[in-house]
Amino acid sequence: MKKYITTLIVIIVALGLIGFILNKNKKENKAKTDIVAEKNASVSVKTAQVTTQELTLDFVANGSFEPIQELTFSAEKSGKVISVLVKEGDYVTVGQALAVVRGDVINVNAQTAEAAYQNAKSDYNRYENAFTSGGVTKQQLDQAKLALTQAQSNLKQAKINVGDTRIKAPINGFINKRYIEPGSILAGMPATAMFDIVNVSRLKLNVSVNESQVTSLKLGSTVAVSSSVFPDKSFSGKITFIAAKADESLNFPIEIEIANNPEKSLKAGMYGTANFGSKQKQQLKVVPRNAFVGSVSSNEIFVVENNTAKLKKVTAGRILGEQVEIVDGLSDGDTVIVTGQINLQDGNTVEIIK
């Protein structure tokens, strides 16, 4: 019995000793973990200072070129294509024949209309002479005159129809796409597409600017335009349209017209850059563009205070290249985070990398 009690006491003491050691180790490990966590809690970032600088109000905007005119030319009347006189890539001028449509029936109708007109003209002359001598009444003369007028209108329309057998270009430009071949049957309703004609003698560069930039623009102002395809060439453009209302992204569409060079180097669909120059200079409080969380439109910037990241709401103004005007929310000398924001939350400890 004593042996049993002694064994039980030993077991209890051993368990208590093990529990004490485990608890002590747990506290030591937690302390080490807290130290490691504290060291690992800081996020490495790069920073910049908020400064007031004298800056020009120049800015750029990117967009794409569009032709000054483009048209999908469709058939007005039905008929069978006899020949196509142009191919894709050809330059055509207004009035140039592009295709010929079969006109047998049309020509017959024109001959019939011509004969009817000549007959009505003879009848009217005869009635007019007879009216002078009292051989016909005024009513008969008026009816003969009406018949002549109708015959003349029919002949005019018949001649138009004959002319329509030669399909002519309505605008100057390049044949960008040809939809018909000899033997194609044209329909008037719905109209058959025949050619895409694109005029690139002049182009339109469509860009968008924000509300602070649009206020400095005027219709007719000259703008330097460049293309990434021809970085060594500069084109002179003129502002021909400024939207009176912002689009869904709160930007204002701008249209700039550019005269293409004689070689027609610029093509519709290419990307272009409008360089809006200004001789004005102004003292502006600015931060680097990459200080903003996400994009400039977020109006959120992380500021470092006592090695802690503080998320602040600011009011952004004009975008000036890689810098952005700060209208409100920051002061000169404030330290803003420019890299590492993706890993940050408000209140995180930061380590500034020089």
Domains contained in the chain, CATH given = 43-57+281-352 (2.40.420.20), 60-67+198-276 (2.40.30.170), 74-194 (1.10.287.470)
Phi, psi of 346 (to 5 degrees): -55, 125
Burial letters 207-230, b for 16+ CB under 10 A, else e: bbbbebbbeeeeeeeebebbbeee
Q: What mean pLDDT comes out for the span 85-107?
A: 83
The pLDDT, as a whole number, for residue 294 is 85
Q: pLDDT tens for residues 44-59?
A: 999 999 999 888 777 8
pLDDT greater at residue 161 or residue 255:
255
Q: pLDDT tens for residues 166-212?
A: 788 999 999 999 999 998 888 867 888 999 999 999 999 999 988 87
The pLDDT, as a whole number, for residue 8 is 59
Q: Are 188 and 77 in contact (CB under 8 A)?
A: yes
Any residues with CB less than 8 A from the CB of 77 and at least 6 apart, and which?
101, 161, 164, 186, 188
Q: Which single residue is written with the structure tokens 């996400």?
A: 294
Q: What mean pLDDT comes out for the span 23-29?
A: 59
pLDDT greater at residue 55 or residue 32:
55
- pLDDT confidence tier of residue 69, bands split at 50, 70 and 90: very high
The pLDDT, as a whole number, for residue 42 is 83
Residue 15 has pLDDT above 90, yes or no: no
- pLDDT confidence tier of residue 159, bands split at 50, 70 and 90: low
Least confident of 59-68, 128-137, 263-272, 294-303: 128-137
Q: What mean pLDDT comes out for the span 120-129?
A: 79
CB half-sphere exposure, 148, CA atoms < 13 A: 16
Phi, psi of 3 (to 5 degrees): -60, -40
- In order, the DSSP letters of 301-352 are EEEEETTEEEEEE-EEEEEETTEEEEEES--TT-EEEEE-GGG--TT-BEEE
Nearest to 131 by CA among 118, 144, 121: 144
CA distances from 218 to 149, 211, 223, 240, 279 (A): 55, 14, 11, 9, 15
Residue 66 has pLDDT above 90, yes or no: yes
The pLDDT, as a whole number, for residue 238 is 94
Q: How many CB atoms lie within 10 A of CB 201?
A: 15
pLDDT greater at residue 57 or residue 10:
57
| pTM over cut 0.85 | no
The pLDDT, as a whole number, for residue 17 is 61
Give ∠ CA 41-43-44 in degrees, rounded to 5.
Answer: 140
Q: pLDDT tens for residues 285-341?
A: 999 999 999 888 889 999 999 999 999 999 988 777 788 989 999 999 999 999 988
Structure-block tokens of residue 31: 């302390």
